[in-house]
């Protein structure tokens, strides 16, 4: 008895959902954290002024 195509697609979707859920729960690396806090949030002028001195 083989696996039906519908069953295999359902299993693949469930596995993909589980993997993506586990990947999104991991803490960011230090470089990712820096990018989130400083590069992507460039709307704060006090941060930009402080970084100009560096």
Model confidence pLDDT, tens digit, residues 4-13: 777 888 888 8
Domain ranges of the chain: 5-53
- 41, 47 Cβ separation under 8 angstroms: yes
What's the rounded Cα separation, in Å, for the pair 13 and 21? 12
Q: What are phi and psi of 11, to 5 degrees?
A: -65, -40
What pTM, to 2 d.p., does this model score?
Answer: 0.40
Task: Give residue-wise pLDDT tens across range 29-43.
Answer: 888 888 777 766 655
What tokens were used for 22?
């586990």
What tokens were used for 53?
């001195």
Place of tokens 């230090």: 30
- 36, 28 Cβ separation under 8 angstroms: yes
Task: Give residue-wise pLDDT tens across range 17-32.
Answer: 888 877 777 788 888 8
């Amino acid at each position: 008895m083989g696996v039906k195509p519908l069953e295999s697609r359902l299993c693949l979707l469930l596995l993909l959902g589980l993997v993506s859920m586990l990947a999104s729960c991991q803490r960011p690396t230090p470089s990712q954290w820096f990018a989130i806090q400083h590069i992507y949030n460039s709307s704060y002028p006090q941060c930009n002024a402080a970084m100009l001195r560096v």
